Structure 1
Amino acid sequence: MKVTETKLKGCFIIEPAVFEDSRGYFFEAFNKSKFQELTGAHAEFVQDNQSKSSYGVVRGLHQQTGDFAQAKLVRVLEGKVLDVAVDAREGSPTFGEYVALELSSENNKQLYIPRGFLHGFAVLSETATFLYKCDNVYNKKSEDGVHPLDNTLGIDWQIPLDRIILSDKDKEARSFST
C-alpha cells in the first residue's frame, strides 16, 4: 500500500497493492492497523455509504459539522469520478484550498478526507458506483454544504457546465465565503 499526503494536511491518497493474474485481481481495500500506521489517522469507521450516479452528476460539496463531523475514506467500485476535498477548517493554513483526484475502478485509488473538510465528486464515466466509509453516523441537523460551482473555490469539475446535474439541495447551497 502506498500512502501520499496531499497538500492539505491530514488528507491522503491511498493506493493499494493490486495482485493480478489470469483469474482477475485481489487487493486489500482497508486494513485498520496499516491505515493508522501509514497515515497517523485514527478514524474508527462506523458507517458505509454507497451511491450510483450517471455522467454529469456532481454530488457535493458536503460535510457534517459539530458532534457529527465525519472523516471519510472514499473509493470507486465501478466507473470514474473526479473526487474533491476542500479544507474548511477555520484557522488552517490551507483553508479554502482543495485537492482533486481521479478515482476509478481501474486505478483503485482511495482518498482519506479528515473531519472539517467539504467533499464532493463528479461522475466522469457513463455511471459510477461510489463507496465511502465514515467515522461517524449521519445526522440531518448537522448537514452543511457549499454550492459546488461556487466561484470562490473555482473547481473545474471536468464536465461542461451545460451537462452538470445537481440536486435541488446542492443548487441552493451557500457560498464558501459566507
Structure 2
Amino acid sequence: MHIEELTLPGTYVITPALIPDARGSFYEAMRGDLLEKATGVPFRPRQINYSVSRRHTLRGIHSVRIPPGQAKYVTCVRGALRDIVVDLRIGSPTFGEHRVNVLDADSGRSVYVPEGVGHGFLALTDDACICYVVSSTHVPGTQIDINPLDPDLGLPWDCPEPPLISDKDAKAPTVAEAVRAGLLPRFDKAGTP
C-alpha cells in the first residue's frame, strides 16, 4: 500500500498493492495502522455510506462543521469518478485550492479527506458507486455545502455536457459567501497534526 500526501495538508491518496491471479485480484482497501502512521491522526470509522450515480452526475462540494467534524476515506467500488478535494479551512496555507484524482474500481485507489476539507465528484461511468468510510455519524444541521460550480474555485470537472446536480448543491453558497456567513472551519481547529 502506497500512501502519498497531496499538497493540501492532511489529505492523502492511497494506492493499494493489487495481488492478481487467475481468479481476479485481491488488495487491502484500508489499513488503519498505516493510515494513522502516515497522517498522524487516528481514524476510527463510525459510519459507512454509499452513493450510486449515473454518468455525468456531480455531487459536492461537501464537508461537516467542526464540531463534530468528519474525516472521510473515499473509494470508488464500481465504475469510475473524477474526485476533487477543496481546502475549506480558513487560515490554511492552501485555503481554496483543490486537487483532482481519478478513482476507479479497478485500481482500488482511495482518498483520505481530513476534517475541514470539502469533497465532491463527477461520475465518469453509469452506475458508479462510491463508498465513504467516515469518522463520525451524521448529525443533522452540521453539513457544509459549497456550490461545485463556484466560478472562483474554477474546479476542473471537465464534463462534456451540463452535469446532473441536486437543487441543494446548485443553490449552495460559494466559498466567499460561506466565509462571510461564518460557515467554514479554522485550520487550527481541523483534525490535522
Common fold: TM-score over 0.5: yes
Q: CA deviation at 1:2?
A: 0.3
SS in 2 for 1:177: helix
Match of 1:69 in 2: 69
Aligned residue number for residue 101 of structure 1: 101
Hey, what's the Cα distance between the residues in 1 that align with 2:59 and 2:115?
18
Cα distance between partner residues in 2 of 1:152 and 1:43: 32
Is 1:143 equivalent to 2:112 in the alignment? no
Give the equivalent residue in structure 2 for 1:154. 154
TM-score, with normalisation over the residues of structure 2? 0.89
Whole-angstrom CA distance in 1 between matches of 2:135 and 2:106? 26
Unaligned runs of 5+ in 1: none
Which one-letter code corresponds to 1:127 in the other structure? D
Which whole-Å CA distance do the structure 2 matches of 1:66 and 1:93 have between them?
19
Indicate the SS of the match to 2:36: helix
1:130 aligns with 2:124: no
User: How far did 1:158 drift?
Assistant: 1.9
Tell me which residue corresponds to 1:56. Answer: 56
Deviations 1:157-178 (A, max 9, x none): 121242x000010011001111
Decide whether the 8 Å contact of 1:146 with 1:170 is kept in 2: yes
CA distance in 2, matches of 1:93, 1:27: 34
CA distance in 2, matches of 1:108, 1:31: 13
Instruction: Give CA-to-partner distance per residue, 1:70-104, whole Å, 9 cap, x none.
Output: 10000000000011110011100000001110000
2:188 alignment partner in structure 1: none
Partner-residue secondary structure (3-state), 2:67:
helix
Query: Does residue 179 of structure 2 align to residue 175 of structure 1?
Result: no
5+ long unaligned stretches in structure 2: 178-193
- 3-state SS in 2 of match to 1:66: coil
Partner of 2:176, secondary structure, is: coil
Aligned partners of 1:49, 1:126: CA distance in 2, in Å?
A: 19
Q: What CA distance in whole angstroms lies between the structure 1 residues aligned with 2:159 and 2:25?
A: 31
Output the CA distance in 1 between the equivalents of 2:17 and 2:151: 38
1:68–1:137 CA contact under 8 A, matched in 2: no
| CA deviation map 1:30-78 (0-9, x unaligned) | 1211221233231211110001000010010111102221100000000
Counterpart of 1:3 in 2: which secondary structure?
A: strand
| Partner amino acid, structure 1, of 2:176 | S
**TM-score w.r.t. length of structure 1:** 0.96
127-136 vs 26-35, greater mean Cα deviation: 26-35
Match of 1:86, as an amino acid? V
1:9 lines up with 2:9 in the alignment: yes
**Corresponding residue of 1:80:** 80
Secondary structure of the corresponding residue to residue 53 of structure 2: strand
Tell me the amino acid that sits aligned with residue 77 of structure 1. V
- Give the secondary structure class of the aligned counterpart of 1:90: coil
Give the counterpart letter for 2:32 in structure 1. Answer: K
Tell me the amino acid that sits aligned with residue 85 of structure 1.
V
